[in-house]
Amino acid sequence: MISTELAARLRDAGLVWRPADGDRFRIDAPELSADVFTVSTMTIQAHEFPTGTILGFNGTTEWALDSVAIEDALWLPREDQLREMLRTTFVGLRRAGEGYEVDVELLGERRTFADEDPAGAYGAALLALVELST
């Protein structure tokens, strides 16, 4: 899983989240900062309204939450989602020492991004791509 810091940098750079089943997220509230939630038809559903997307908590008795605006949630994209968003820029993933390296082609130049976790390396590469496209 990518770090909260990297997820925040991706969001701040302009990565748009359209919640789907299986997506993980955190809520921007100090008392919930350590909790990771998962969008699921049974427990947490995304509801689209003209004013924005709301994440509705269904039947949760352990949290005093009915719903959360998407702006108050931080998406934690999975490794497969990060790789998919790299699209044709993705060249390869390889093990490198204690971590991983992702190679991408950005503006005709091959660049490498490293992290101890594959998702972190994919996330760093995607951040560079998002920053280039804004």
The residue with tokens 């004013």 is 51
- Both 51 and 108 in one domain: the answer is no
Same domain, 53 and 27: yes
User: Where residue 65 falls among pLDDT bands split at 50, 70, 90?
Assistant: low
CB 47 within 8 A of CB 53: yes
Q: Looking at the structure, do residues 90 and 106 belong to the same domain, yes or no?
A: yes
CA separation for the pair 14, 22 (Å, rounded): 21
Judge if 88 and 64 occupy the same domain. Answer: no
- Please give the DSSP secondary-structure letter assigned to residue 49: E
Residue 128 DSSP one-character state:
H
Q: Tell whether 49 and 35 lie within a shared domain.
A: yes
Looking at the structure, tell me whether residues 90 and 53 fall in a common domain.
no
Quick one: pLDDT band at residue 88, thresholds 50, 70, 90?
very high
Residue 130: how many CA atoms within 13 Å on its side-chain side? 19
| Three-state DSSP state, 129 | helix
Residues 68 and 16 in one domain: yes
| Domain of residue 102, residue span | 79-132
**Pair (38, 13) in one structural domain:** yes
Mean pLDDT of the chain: 91
pLDDT of amino acid 60: 56
In this prediction, what percent of the chain has a pLDDT beyond 90? 66
Same domain? For 67 and 9 the reply is: yes
pLDDT surpassing 70 at residue 64? no
- pTM of the entire predicted model: 0.86
Name residue 47's beta-bridge partners.
54
In the block, tokens 């900062």 appear at 33
Mean pLDDT on 6-20:
96
Please give the tally of structural domains in the chain. Answer: 2
In this structure, the answer to whether residues 68 and 97 fall within a common structural domain is: no
Is there a single domain that holds both residue 55 and residue 92? no
Q: Using CA atoms, how far apart are residues 3 and 42, in angstroms rounded to an integer?
A: 26
Apex CA 121: angle with CA 117 and CA 124, to 5°?
Answer: 135
What average pLDDT does the segment 9-34 reach? 92
pLDDT grade for 61, boundaries at 50, 70 and 90: very low
